[in-house]
Every structure is written in structure tokens, then in C-alpha cells.
Amino acid sequence: MNFKPIVITALAVFSLLNVRAQKKIITVNPSQITAQVQPEMWGVFFEDINMGADGGIYAELIKNRSFEFAAPLMGWTTQGTQLKEGDLLILNRQEKDVNNPRFLRVKSTAVNKGDLSITNEGFKGIGVKKGLSYDFSVFYRQTSPGVKLHAELIDSTGKVLGSGVLNPEGSDNQWKRQSVSFIANETVEKASFNLWFEGTGQIDLDMISLFPGDTWKHRKGGLRGDMVQMLADMRPGFIRFPGGCIVEGRDLSTRYQWKKTIGPVEDRKLIINRWNTEFKHRPAPDYYQTFGLGFYEYFQLSEDIGAEPLPILNCGMACQFNTAELVPLDELEPYIQDALDLIEFANGNITTPFGKIRADMGHPAPFHLKMMGIGNENWGPQYLERLALFTKALKSRYPEIKLVNSSGTDPNGERFDLLNTSLRKMKADIIDEHYYRSPEWFLKNANRYDNYDKNGSKVFAGEYAAQSVGIALPTNRNAWQCGMAEAAFMTGLERNADVVHMASYAPLFAQIDGWQWTPDMIWVDNLKVYGTPNYYVQKLYSLNKGTDVVSILEDGKLIEGQDSIYASAVIERKTNELIVKVINTSSSPVTRDIKVDGKKLASKGKLTLMQNANLNAVNSFSNAINLSPKEQTLAVKNNGVALSLQPYSFNIVRIPMK
């Protein structure tokens, strides 16, 4: 008998709550500026991990082109009816050429093409595109002409996909270079490369090279156009380079040394890549750093896409997870000199020694380097001692260059506390924080910087990524749960742009058959590239960076997870627009009215939305834009907008102001 009234009461309470929930208002005041956004705020982190450089963005298609890998013929096989013992020899001219000592000597008695050849498997096969031209080149020397070279791409059945012929000239036994281009007649993801010999004679070969014709800006020997385009599309504020642990090396002998990465590519001494053996479950014995993408190309790339270069240098410490070798303090001078010389290489007048090298390489104008990192993930008093010496030398010569200092590997704990406290006492310009953490950590830490000292050292969130399973585990996925958590966390970076001056997701690239570390922002195979949900989150922040952070509150409070909602707002002075980012991290739809005070809005704006009801959703080569931004028009009413925030959604509202 009492049943009916109870139901009515329950319903009444429910609808009252519902009305109250629907009435929640987010108040934005574009006239209340709380911080300025640095122009370089959202950048990218590049490291040669996961075949990011060799086999990746560096477009060379021939693996072990100069026979310098540990096994000189790694990546190569030999074949032919006329192949006899001693016909193919590896010679070493170490006394004359320490950087590129080995070359191949071919003694040919091949009557026909088909009698003797060498075949290269490429990095993970060779991607070939129908209609595209391929540039084959080789260094050779001979005492008399006689051996013709047939370069060809073939598929797995041996079908020729394109070929070119060289008739090496000269008999002076001096090294020369010849090249030929040819067009491919088919698209094949995993082709290989044959070099056939025809004729009788002896010829020495080195730097056997093949590049696709669609490199970035069509530069010969350049970078993979589609991979660079993905970066250019983000309009990143900076490029951190070359890492990452690769800066440190497993030991000091394999640390990154920028001076060995400039000048002619044939003189750049390759080294084994430190990620070659790092993970036992993913050995990569054929992973080397040829430095075809060296420091000149890095500066040029940064300039091309309008990003500030942010080089990170070794501070006299090898990776502390590996050998942890230290350079004695009284022997640190060459390391410091490397840092000073890099500034000269980037910015120096062409009359200076390193400025001249830059000019000779084709760039007389300076690259306008403004900042530099000393050390990657280094920690402990040993780091502080070495950093102090670097800082003194660099600041006395180049006070205008901002220095980025390491806070170690983790965003908390004893190591972090020691460095964070000490670096702030030392008045560090910028402190580099890294966090590879769970999606939950990112949600909980959206307020991390709210109480940081606004007048002290600035923060560079230099490496971060939500890990779906656990740090660097091979089962991690670039799932929407991670991208969404990063988007929510980034509201805190944006809100505190007076503390956080720069941020970059890490790592950047991964080759589908050649990765060591996951998750990664952009995945590639030999022909294609796709951005993960994390890529689109980064891109959206960068494209909607704005110039000034403005006040955004709900019930007078910052929006940092109440009802699973996160929000931040900026204005863009150039276009006079308001940009509001709102993330709904709950499984239910949520409504919010955005009310704008202090400025008049135009009658309509735009909503950019990333959403998926499945937190495990990912992008893939076959569904590359499964999770990607979609745009729609938004009507402005009463100087605000009514937002229906879909479950698990990242929403960007952009409205012109009057």
C-alpha cells in the first residue's frame, strides 16, 4: 500500500538530482589571464629507438651499406653461378680511414648478368612504391673499367620491380661515386635489393645506397617524407634530440657524440645502437646508428618545421641503469667543450671553425639555438657535480642559452627530491621531469603543478606516456584510456604554463617489426605511417596552444577531476579566439554549460572531439583514424555553449571573440 508514494518520492529525488547535475556551469573569463603559454610549449622527443632513425625516418633503404656492422656481411647474401672462393672479400683500410675502414672487393668473371650478385634484405625488407623513383649510388674504385653494375629491386618471387645500370669509369684507383635512378613498377612492402656484376675485372665498392625519391623536401639522402609530415602536421614547438638514454650510451664509448655525426655521411663512424641488446625479449643484433640523421640534419629538420632545437648532451656519465661509468671531474673538459662547440656549430659566425663546417654543409645562416640539455636521466651527487662545471662554463660564455637539467628517471622519490631541491637552489633554468606511469597516475596528477613555485625554475615535462600495463612492458598498447588520461593531465600542464614551459610525449616513432619499447606515438611500416590516439591528443594541444591561459572554474574551483571532468582554457591573441579543453573521463555522458564572462563571443564556434566508448580502442594500419579528431559547429547562446560531453571524450571548444 505504501509502494506508490515511495516510488514517486524516489523519482522526485532522482529528477531533482538530475536537474541539479544538468545545471552545472563552467565559468570562463578570457579577461582574467593567469599565465602565458610559451611558443615552444608542445614539442616532440626524438630518439633512435624502435628503428626511429636507421630503418625509420632516415630514408636509406640499404642495411649495412658500408660493411661496418660487427659481421661485415650482415644484411647481405651472395649468389651466382660464377661465385668462387675469394671473389668477394672484405678489406680493411683502418690505417687510412678510421671512420669507414671496410669495403667490398669484387673479382668478377661474370659473363652475364645473373652470374654473380650480392643481395641486401633492407632493414625489415624494403618498401617499394609503384611509380616512385629510386636513387641508387655507390662509391667505387678500380684500375681498369670492365665490371658493369646492375642495381635492381625484386619481390619475394624474384620479380624485378625496377632496375638501373652503372658503367663505372676511370682507371686511376681513386674512390669515386656514381648514381642512377629508376622507377618502380609495383608496390611491395618487403622487397630486397640485388646488385649484379657483369664483366671481367676487379672493383672495390663502399656505401652501397638506395633512397626513395619522395624524401622530405626531395632532399637527396634525406628523411622519410611521410614521417616528417606527421611531425610537421603537429607544428611542434621544439624537437628534443637525440634522446633519451642514447645520449648516455650503455658505456661512455657508446655515448652520443655530435661531432661524429656531421660532415660527409661516408665519414660518419657508425656505432652499435644501445637498444640493440637492452631488452632480452627483443634482441636487435642488426641495430646500428649510422648517423645519416646527424646534428646538421636535426637542426635543418627543426628549422623546416618551425620547431626550436633542444639538443641533449652527455654530461660525463654513462647510463646509470647500465655501466654507470663516470668521467673523472678533472677530465670533463672535452665533454664541456663539445657543448660549447655545439653552440658554435649552430649559431657561430661562418668565420668560426664550427660555424664554417655548418656553412660548408650548406647552411651559412645560424640555426638560432636557444637551449640545451645537460644529461638525460642522470641522478645523484655525481650529476650535480658535473652539471655545476658545465653550467659555469656555458653560462660564462653563452648566458643567453637556457639550460635544461635532469631530475632523474622518476617524478618522485629520493633521487627526484635531491635533484629537485638542489637544482632549485642552484636556480636551474629548466628542470626535466619524466613520467612513464599508469593512466590513473596521470588522472591523479593533473594538479601536480598547481603548487609549484611560479617564480622558481621552470619545468620541462621532457618524457611522458601513460603505460597501459607497466613501464616499457611489451604488452603496453596505445589505447584510448592512455591518450585520454594524458589529455586530462595536460590540462594541468596548460593551466600551469607559467611553471611548465615545455612538454613532449616519448618515445616518438616505432617500426612495427623493429620496436623495442612500447607505447610509442607514431607507428610505421615500410610503406605507411599512422598516428596513435596519443599522437592526436598531442597534436590537438599543439594546434590549440593559444597564447595566454585564462580562468576556468566550476563552483569557484579548478576543474581537476570532480565528476571525472578536467578542463583548462586559453585565448589566442592573434586570432582573438577562446579555446576551452574539457575531458570527460567517466563512462557516462555529462552535460555542462560553459558561460563566458568578460568578453563577448561570436554567434558560433567549433567543437573538435575525440571519443570512444571503448577504453581499449587503438588505431592501426588498417584503421589508422579509428581514434582521431572530428569537428562540428557549435551554436553560442547567452554568451556560452551547452556541452554534452560524451563518455570518455576529449572536447576542444574554439570560439571567436568579438
Active site residues: 377
The span from the CA of 38 to the CA of 501, in Å, is 6
Residue placing its CB nearer to ligand AHR in the complex, 265 or 271: 271
- DSSP annotation string for 160-223: EEEEEEE-----S---EEEEEEEE-SS-EEEEEEEEEEEEEEEEEEEEEEEEETTBGGG-TT-B
Residue 311 interacts with ligand AHR (CB under 6 A): yes or no: no
Name the residue among 450, 449, 541, 422 with its Cα closest to residue 487.
Answer: 541
Residue placing its CB nearer to ligand AHR in the complex, 88 or 245: 245
Residue 308 interacts with ligand AHR (CB under 6 A): yes or no: no
Count interface residues toward ligand AHR (CB under 6 A): 12
Question: Footprint of ligand AHR on residues 240-269 (CB under 6 A)?
Answer: 243-245
Residue 334, SS3 per DSSP: helix
Show the site string, 194-233: x = touches ligand AHR by CB under 6 A, - = not. ----------------------------------------
| Residue 516 vs residues 227, 250, 274, 284, 633: alpha-carbon distances, Å | 19, 15, 11, 8, 42
Residue 376 interacts with ligand AHR (CB under 6 A): yes or no: yes
CB of 136 within 8 A of CB of 210?
A: yes
CB of 68 within 8 A of CB of 270?
A: yes
Residue 377 interacts with ligand AHR (CB under 6 A): yes or no: yes
Residue placing its CB nearer to ligand AHR in the complex, 222 or 507: 507
Residue placing its CB nearer to ligand AHR in the complex, 507 or 533: 507
H or E element at residue 359? helix 353-360
The window from 138-146, 163-171, 237-245, 576-584 that contacts ligand AHR (CB under 6 A) reads 237-245
Cell, residue 445: 596528477
Tell me, what DSSP letter sits at residue 423? H
Question: Minimum distance between the CB of residue 465 and ligand AHR, rounded to whole angstroms?
Answer: 8
H or E element at residue 538? helix 533-543
Question: Footprint of ligand AHR on residues 331-370 (CB under 6 A)?
Answer: none
Residue 17, SS3 per DSSP: helix
Question: Minimum distance between the CB of residue 42 and ligand AHR, rounded to whole angstroms?
Answer: 17
Query: Torsion-angle region of residue 329: left (phi > 0), alpha (psi -120 to 50) or beta?
Result: alpha
Show the site string, 484-523: x = touches ligand AHR by CB under 6 A, - = not. ----------------------xx---------x------
Residue 47 interacts with ligand AHR (CB under 6 A): yes or no: yes
Residue placing its CB nearer to ligand AHR in the complex, 121 or 463: 463
Question: Minimum distance between the CB of residue 472 and ligand AHR, rounded to whole angstroms?
Answer: 7
The span from the CA of 339 to the CA of 330, in Å, is 17
Name the residue among 589, 588, 630 with its Cα closest to residue 609.
Answer: 630
Residue placing its CB nearer to ligand AHR in the complex, 215 or 409: 409
The span from the CA of 646 to the CA of 109, in Å, is 72
The span from the CA of 67 to the CA of 90, in Å, is 8
Question: Minimum distance between the CB of residue 322 and ligand AHR, rounded to whole angstroms?
Answer: 11
DSSP lists the bridge partners of residue 116 as 197
Question: Minimum distance between the CB of residue 307 and ligand AHR, rounded to whole angstroms?
Answer: 18
Question: Minimum distance between the CB of residue 376 and ligand AHR, rounded to whole angstroms?
Answer: 5
Question: Minimum distance between the CB of residue 436 and ligand AHR, rounded to whole angstroms?
Answer: 7
Residue 339, SS3 per DSSP: helix
The span from the CA of 109 to the CA of 251, in Å, is 46
Question: Minimum distance between the CB of residue 643 and ligand AHR, rounded to whole angstroms?
Answer: 35
CA dihedral 53, 56, 61, 66 (to 10 degrees): 20
Residue placing its CB nearer to ligand AHR in the complex, 517 or 648: 517
CB of 306 within 8 A of CB of 40?
A: no
Residue placing its CB nearer to ligand AHR in the complex, 461 or 506: 506
The span from the CA of 335 to the CA of 416, in Å, is 24
Give the position of cell 591518450. 483
Cell, residue 102: 671496410
Show the site string, 391-430: x = touches ligand AHR by CB under 6 A, - = not. ------------------x---------------------
Question: Minimum distance between the CB of residue 222 and ligand AHR, rounded to whole angstroms?
Answer: 25
The span from the CA of 42 to the CA of 512, in Å, is 26
Residue placing its CB nearer to ligand AHR in the complex, 207 or 245: 245
Show the site string, 84-123: x = touches ligand AHR by CB under 6 A, - = not. ----------------------------------------
Tell me, what DSSP letter sits at residue 282? S
DSSP lists the bridge partners of residue 371 as 402
| Residue 561 vs residues 412, 446, 488, 515, 583: alpha-carbon distances, Å | 21, 8, 9, 35, 9
Cell, residue 241: 634530440
Name the residue among 575, 579, 96, 577 with its Cα closest to residue 567.
Answer: 579
Residue 300, SS3 per DSSP: helix
Residue placing its CB nearer to ligand AHR in the complex, 203 or 246: 246
Cell, residue 115: 652470374
Question: Minimum distance between the CB of residue 298 and ligand AHR, rounded to whole angstroms?
Answer: 16
Residue placing its CB nearer to ligand AHR in the complex, 47 or 115: 47
Q: Nearest residue to ligand AHR, using CB?
A: 244
Question: Footprint of ligand AHR on residues 432-471 (CB under 6 A)?
Answer: 463
Question: Minimum distance between the CB of residue 246 and ligand AHR, rounded to whole angstroms?
Answer: 6
Q: Residues interacting with ligand AHR, by CB under 6 A?
A: 47, 49, 243-245, 376-377, 409, 463, 506-507, 517
